[in-house]
Structure 1
């Protein structure tokens, strides 16, 4: 098989279908949120009482009035049909990490041989998918099929378009017949309410008015790779697992550092523009696009949104990127580490807290050392991360993310917080009793009179930190590119709610004793920072010295693999935390632990069996065929020595395949816990042995015989 022809096909077979591209003014005035049923859209279609009731639910969290359901359903159906929708679906996020939908037509027979368009309030509020067909972690047996989806009015309905029509999608929660959450949205909504209930009393101590609501906001950056379809479908490992299980490093990777922020290829830029226009129509505020570090890697980033809506939008963004890439002869890879030896992909979650009046509680202002409210909430985050390192690590657990965490482009599995020099200096001064702030950053001169003097930030950035303060938010960098952000944000909301609640009680006690607010906050910040400053680290998170210091001197957790981390989800402190805030019951938490083990096992099991299949049926035969060519080529020294090298590598591959085959058959036990450990301890090392031999053969076997597109081709042909 000669992949040189594939190179030509992959490079030349795509064509952009030139269409009408809206002007910037049209994007703002007509396109943005065109396919979203916003409150503003509903205002013109509902009675004043119905609209007022719905708005109170969306903006103030008041209980939904079932009496307005039929009115809203009629408005929703009319709006959707005006935009070409023929079907509707309850769109939800089961514990698979992706989304689910079942489409029903608006068309309904009326008994007279005719049909009408029907959609009732009952159909809007509730639907009934099969709960036993989704992961439940034991909450539902196979014969216990009943489950419910329930309308989430806080996330607006939207239209998804396809080549021959459109569908109305209604964001919903998903629960079992017995009431347990079977999805990612329900705990996220619960955690948002927990955060509000914990933070609002603290704000009142700082002078906020009664009734102030607090929520978290998120802006999630998305990294991804693009490869030509021509290569993707010739790589069974990519099709089955999302990553390359084989592949020798090419002569050139990312060493020249020339791809990052480089000029975007026309084919890719056309894809990006197409995807962005679709995302704008869905109301997703994407802001940034650029080349990432690795060849073939790119990034798209939205601005901040309320966390529940941001989580929904993240799922839509991945769906739009994947679907749109195919129009350009490309495949979008969301896997955290699709190619060994170059950077993997993350989904950096920029998290903050804000009020319904638009105030960012993590905004330090011009004088952070005097900003009591900021210092209080910032210290609460330090306390939360230090006390719940395990939960943050668990929230990003997964077999695919294990290939990335701790590598040279990603944060280590050890949780730490980067604060930057100025903020660390302020807190150190508070702890020592000195107070005040150190030298200000000032302006940065660039040595040329034609260049402006630019403001220098008070602190540098640190891409090696898994949890970094970046001006007015914390960036949780350990989240994997293929993961839903819902569970990481659920964890952040809950652990910060816990820390704020504790600190608020302590602050109130000091005020009751007669301390002034500034004195009470100063004492509390000093004591809290002293107790938890071990979590603050501003240095190189990749260094071996830091790993030793973190574990041996600071006592921080290092849960190196997902299996190590998942084991702690059911710890008593975590059961007490989630249960106390009403985010997850003990049964729901145990179910999620079971599902995480199960997904880990199945992911690696599929990889192990795919490795065995590809090596046995494609790579080993290629080596044997090449040995046949060499045998027919004569007995020169070059042939003899090449034959010896290929034979040695082929024998190494054969032996490694035997080991992998044996471990694949064993599975390691009867429970998903036992199987997960078997995957980690036996299958992954056996796969590595097969890959080592196969990658060695790739550098020896003639191109005409090699059955798989190479890294050299996949990473550089755009």
Structure 2
């Protein structure tokens, strides 16, 4: 089978390590990976030797420390294995120091003030928990990235810190529950990635897609997703060929891409990968996004990862499926056949309820970016209100425990279609709720708010940390309890009383939920700008410092980076729109008006009465004038941006002044498109973009 032959062939995997490393070195490295033990320098020397030899056999000539700065993408500088050894002679070498430590310019990446321009030194350091791989003739070594003074400048370092904090706290919980066999608790994540595919030639003719990842102009196509005929429908031949190659690429890097299908909107698709530890899944998703773009280009396509590339059809998200496993293979979120008596499950479920309610602002923050503002709350994704779906069965169990009543017991029904020839099967314990931002789906939680272009690192850093906080609180109570079972029941009762408001099993898209959420006191942060201040709220800074995930300076730096990115993205969109309208759309409108006027004169000279032609001419001329006026308004507000100075005020001005002006300009440009002939519209329209793959 081809997939088995190619799977993981580009990865310095556990299997390769076991084959190439001395037994004692391999076992030591394995303990470092699985138990977080400190790395022995002698081990690093042997690993470096074996890693280089393997990489060279795979065709590698260079190596790079591959890291994830606060840009949302990955980075790394490449060094050759070659070193001079004498008169025109060279050797291939790769030392333990080169494996463990790298030094990129820390002042050239976003630091939020942690690094000044003249403070250039930063370090990358090998992450032995995530396997190295060879790509395009280079050995990629997953690393963390920090400043000279030790602050995290990347997405990975806080994620690894939060994983350690959660493991230590959850392991303490298991010990209090009588578990003496597990040695680590590991957050496991499976990621679903949505994306759009469009024709490359059409993409190259759209400045907004090239610079911003989304269309700033464009009238809706006559047909969008109204007929629900694209979702899970027949995959077009060109897309199917792309998907086949993408799967082969992903498999070769050890990424278990399991599911692929058409999504709801035309030209929209999805792939989903099997679970792995949170940090490896994060690495895999970053690599997968890069590979998706590369493979698309080979097939004459362009992959769009923006949250909302096209108006009027669904945008794209990235569902973060999160669970907890022990190192001996136990899923702590599995309810089992008798969840009302599964003390471990009930305790961890209560920990999630408390965490999600108490730190809802941080979860919202973890999905905050300019692109996601177009998607959240648009009845195609969860609203910007955090709530939790548990389903009727689990909710009833918790409510019964809270009310100290026995209930009717937990029963899984059978599904029968009413057709005798079709098999019956056991139903799940609840329906799925695709409108909920945080939904329990059998043995995991699905966090549906993360944007398609975002790294999942921040979302999982937050989940790990807030869960560690809840478990730490529960551990204090359990350690003083005479009867653990009675204390767990008391914890569940108190959690439902204090935090049960977060549970909502209904339609999160409905207007009634907005009203109900406000009544419950749940925060509605409809814009990313409203979410950014959560990073520096006192309770959140104290949380991150308590578990050594972020210090206060790192919290402030990240808030500044996120806000600066938000402002810059929207500023670039405004500048791009100005360029497109002033150099393409407005000149086209003027030419079209001239052409219509010339045709109208010809009709008049021929003595043919055609009053509709004059009406159309006046309409087109009026729209051209409106475009000019609206363009001037956008230009005026764009110029004012540079004089504001304060990032929060700048963001507020963008939302209150610049974005409405851009929306007005788009309205007139789209109207011009709808009344002009296709030849007069200078850029590919929505029909070309989403219906021509």
TM-score range, shorter chain: over 0.9
* Contact in 2 for aligned 1:422/1:438 (Cα 8 Å): no
Note the C-alpha offset of 1:53.
1.7
Equivalent residue, structure 1, for 2:170: 199
The whole-number CA distance in structure 1 between the counterparts of 2:283 and 2:580 is 36
Report whether the alignment pairs 1:85 with 2:73.
no
Report whether the alignment pairs 1:31 with 2:6.
yes
Note the C-alpha offset of 1:210.
5.7
* Contact in 2 for aligned 1:148/1:176 (Cα 8 Å): yes
Q: Which range moves more in the overlay, 431-440 or 224-233?
A: 431-440
* Contact in 2 for aligned 1:443/1:453 (Cα 8 Å): yes
The whole-number CA distance in structure 2 between the counterparts of 1:594 and 1:613 is 28
Residue from 622, 637, 644 that aligns with 2:618? 644
Task: Find the residue that maps to 1:301 and give its secondary structure.
Answer: strand
Report whether the alignment pairs 1:270 with 2:241.
yes
The whole-number CA distance in structure 2 between the counterparts of 1:132 and 1:444 is 59
Note the C-alpha offset of 1:27.
1.9
Residue from 134, 140, 145 that aligns with 1:169? 140
The whole-number CA distance in structure 1 between the counterparts of 2:317 and 2:509 is 16
Matched ranges for 1:469-484 at <5 A: 469-484=440-455
* Contact in 1 for aligned 2:338/2:410 (Cα 8 Å): no
Matched ranges for 1:43-62 at <5 A: 43-62=18-37
Report whether the alignment pairs 1:427 with 2:398.
yes
The whole-number CA distance in structure 2 between the counterparts of 1:297 and 1:211 is 42
Taking structure 1 as reference, are residues 449 and 409 closer, same or farther at Cα in structure 2, changes over 3 Å only? same
Residue from 535, 556, 564 that aligns with 1:569? 535
Note the C-alpha offset of 1:678.
1.9
When normalised by structure 2's length, the TM-score is: 0.97
Equivalent residue, structure 2, for 1:615: 581
Equivalent residue, structure 1, for 2:677: 702
Task: Find the residue that maps to 1:394 and give its secondary structure.
Answer: helix
Equivalent residue, structure 2, for 1:9: none
The whole-number CA distance in structure 2 between the counterparts of 1:336 and 1:118 is 44
Note the C-alpha offset of 1:642.
0.6
Gaps of 5+ in 2: 605-609
Report whether the alignment pairs 1:285 with 2:256.
yes
Report whether the alignment pairs 1:410 with 2:381.
yes
Deviations 1:198-235 (A, max 9, x none): 11111112221166210100001000000001110111
Deviations 1:135-179 (A, max 9, x none): 000000011111110001000100113xxxx11100000011111
Task: Find the residue that maps to 1:44 and give its secondary structure.
Answer: helix
Residue from 207, 221, 226 that aligns with 1:255? 226
Matched ranges for 1:484-563 at <5 A: 484-509=455-480, 511=481, 514-515=482-483, 517-551=484-518, 553-563=519-529
Note the C-alpha offset of 1:247.
0.9
Cα RMSD for the two superposed structures: 1.1
* Contact in 2 for aligned 1:223/1:347 (Cα 8 Å): yes
Task: Find the residue that maps to 2:318 and give its secondary structure.
Answer: coil
* Contact in 1 for aligned 2:183/2:326 (Cα 8 Å): yes
Note the C-alpha offset of 1:32.
1.0
* Contact in 2 for aligned 1:429/1:437 (Cα 8 Å): no
Equivalent residue, structure 2, for 1:661: 635
Q: How many pairs were matched up?
A: 684
Report whether the alignment pairs 1:716 with 2:691.
yes
* Contact in 1 for aligned 2:372/2:451 (Cα 8 Å): yes
Gaps of 5+ in 1: 1-24
The whole-number CA distance in structure 2 between the counterparts of 1:291 and 1:522 is 45
The whole-number CA distance in structure 2 between the counterparts of 1:187 and 1:145 is 21
Matched ranges for 1:676-691 at <5 A: 676-691=651-666
Report whether the alignment pairs 1:583 with 2:583.
no
Task: Find the residue that maps to 1:97 and give its secondary structure.
Answer: coil
Matched ranges for 1:664-675 at <5 A: 664-667=638-641, 669-675=644-650
The whole-number CA distance in structure 1 between the counterparts of 2:427 and 2:27 is 47
Equivalent residue, structure 2, for 1:15: none
Equivalent residue, structure 2, for 1:246: 217
Matched ranges for 1:186-225 at <5 A: 186-209=157-180, 212-225=183-196
Matched ranges for 1:69-148 at <5 A: 69-148=44-123
When normalised by structure 1's length, the TM-score is: 0.94
Note the C-alpha offset of 1:712.
1.2
The whole-number CA distance in structure 2 between the counterparts of 1:354 and 1:562 is 32
The whole-number CA distance in structure 2 between the counterparts of 1:332 and 1:230 is 12
The whole-number CA distance in structure 1 between the counterparts of 2:618 and 2:485 is 78
* Contact in 1 for aligned 2:182/2:326 (Cα 8 Å): no
The whole-number CA distance in structure 2 between the counterparts of 1:370 and 1:652 is 68
Residue from 578, 592, 595 that aligns with 2:558? 592
The whole-number CA distance in structure 1 between the counterparts of 2:41 and 2:554 is 27
The whole-number CA distance in structure 2 between the counterparts of 1:342 and 1:662 is 31
Q: Which range moves more in the overlay, 114-123 or 480-489?
A: 114-123
Task: Find the residue that maps to 2:534 and give its secondary structure.
Answer: coil
The whole-number CA distance in structure 1 between the counterparts of 2:455 and 2:655 is 23
Note the C-alpha offset of 1:648.
2.0
Task: Find the residue that maps to 2:597 and give its secondary structure.
Answer: helix
Deviations 1:91-121 (A, max 9, x none): 0000001000111111222122111111111
Equivalent residue, structure 1, for 2:567: 601
Note the C-alpha offset of 1:644.
1.6
